[in-house]
Structure 1
């Protein structure tokens, strides 16, 4: 697997046009691979995520089974300078993951649920997006075990404990998970005759590896829905 980071220049019109549409950016990412070059086997697939950095800088991350050729992306929207693109092979890093390790993480997801009342045109339970901060945060926390990690609490990491008072006046300690929702976005676009509504939520925090095999699968295959539209890519750092 490969992880590529491309700095985009928001002063350029090509960049502004790309980032304004998940569909256009999706097409541009796929265009960085030769036809037939995207080997999506053993759960591996092309994933991407657009991050807004300090100083209004933009970074496009692409995880892929083969290394991309981002020349067209850079020509249209990137920085034509040394260091504007970096690509690293991640196989050794993935192999080194082990239970008990702790990492900083960042992920953009599409938190959804199936409605018990609403049905789609085929009679299936309709997929709807979670809209509140609490719902979106709970969605990720609930899926952590199946993806090989857990989110430690603040008391465990720093010794800090939040305190609250219940209805009887008793002081209780609350150990909140170390996770922050740092970005939310609602996008609407047409795909054929259908109107697609996409809720995106970007999280940062600290995770602990509980099952290295499951976490590797999450890193190469993504988490949740809308993976073709900038969701699902989990990245780790020290």
Structure 2
């Protein structure tokens, strides 16, 4: 697997177009991967997950993970401030073992399903707004995906949940999409290496085409 760091030029026409519509951003990223037959699921076939991160001083980087080697020369001219940085994810995968503790970052789309009365009964997904609900959502995903969030020294789960700018997709008809992403930063402990590896390679939660689901890991610093 491959992990790429793209340092984006926020003044480029391509970035300004893409940041205004997440559908365009998705299409720009997927241009770096080989075309597939129409029956194929394009993003999941290449295992593409991505996330925007703000870095000091006032820069934006985009992390992109994929099964397929990308060709970043296909990106629009001027989109990058410097060459794409690509590395293998294999050392991270090799480090996954039961009981291993990692520092992590995840941008996810925590939601719940509610019943809506609108002529006919139907269900609708709504974002989780309360901090406690957002943390509970992640803990539930840990049960599903082979990890736990340990307690901090103060007692609560060792993770923070931060609301970040909405992701808007204007081109889906009849209703545009609006995603309310949450960024999680903290520590986790692997309980089921197989399930955890699947989560790492395929993503966590919904809206994976639109900047959610990518789990990034780093070794926990010992003191």
TM range (shorter): 0.7 to 0.9
RMSD over aligned Cα, in angstroms?
A: 2.3
Moved segments of 4+, more than 3 Å = 37-41, 119-124, 187-190
| 60-69 vs 137-146, which moves further | 137-146
Q: Which runs of 5+ in 2 are unaligned?
A: none
Q: TM-score under structure 2 normalisation?
A: 0.86
1:2 and 1:119, CA in 2 relative to 1: closer, same or farther beyond 3 A? farther
- Whether the 8 Å contact between 1:49 and 1:231 is mirrored in structure 2 is yes
The number of residue pairs the alignment matches comes to 214
User: Which residue in the other structure is 1:140 paired with?
Assistant: 138
Equivalent positions of 1:1-238 (< 5 A) are 1-36=1-36, 40=44, 45-73=47-75, 75-79=77-81, 81=82, 84-115=83-114, 117-118=115-116, 123-155=121-153, 161=154, 175-190=155-170, 191-238=172-219
Query: Does structure 1 retain, via aligned residues, the 8 Å contact 2:149–2:187?
Result: yes
Q: Distance in 2 between matches of 1:184 and 1:192?
A: 25
CA deviation profile, 1:134-172 (whole Å, cap 9, x unmatched): 2222211221121111111112xxxxx3xxxxxxxxxxx
SS at match of 2:216: strand
Q: Deviations over 1:88-118 (max 9, x none)?
A: 1223431331011111111110111110x31
CA distance in 2, matches of 1:22, 1:3: 20
TM-score if structure 1 supplies the norm length? 0.81
Secondary structure of the structure 1 residue equivalent to 2:102: strand
SS at match of 1:194: coil
> What are the ranges of 5 or more consecutive residues in structure 1 without an aligned counterpart?
156-160, 162-174
Which region of structure 1 is more displaced relative to structure 2, 180-189 or 141-150? Answer: 180-189
1:21, CA displacement in angstroms? 2.2
Shift of 1:123: 4.7
DSSP 3-state at the match of 1:62 = strand
